[in-house]
Amino acid sequence: MLVAICIQEEKLPDPSMLRLMKMNADEWYYIVIGCIMALAQGAVQPAYGLVFGFVFGVSYFLFFTDVYEES
């Protein structure tokens, strides 16, 4: 004997960004602080590279001028 099972899919509402923000309204402070800190953390590596580039560039320039004057 063959049994047919009918499964009805439940109609869910479409996801909404406004609805998500309303659900997280109590935690907006932590979300904003987290975004700012993530931005700051992402800016550390390029800033670190620039600082070291300038330091090595200046030391190379000073060394090069001393060598140039002595020769």
- 1-55 pLDDT per residue, tens: 556 666 777 887 888 888 888 888 899 899 999 999 999 999 999 999 999 888 8
In a domain, 5, yes or no: no
In a domain, 32, yes or no: no
Residue 50 belongs to what domain range?
A: 43-71
Contacts of 24 (CB under 8 A, 6+ apart): 31
In a domain, 66, yes or no: yes
The pTM (predicted TM-score) of the whole model is 0.52
In a domain, 69, yes or no: yes
H helix and E strand count, the chain? 2, 0
Domain count, the chain: 1
In a domain, 9, yes or no: no
In a domain, 19, yes or no: no
In a domain, 8, yes or no: no
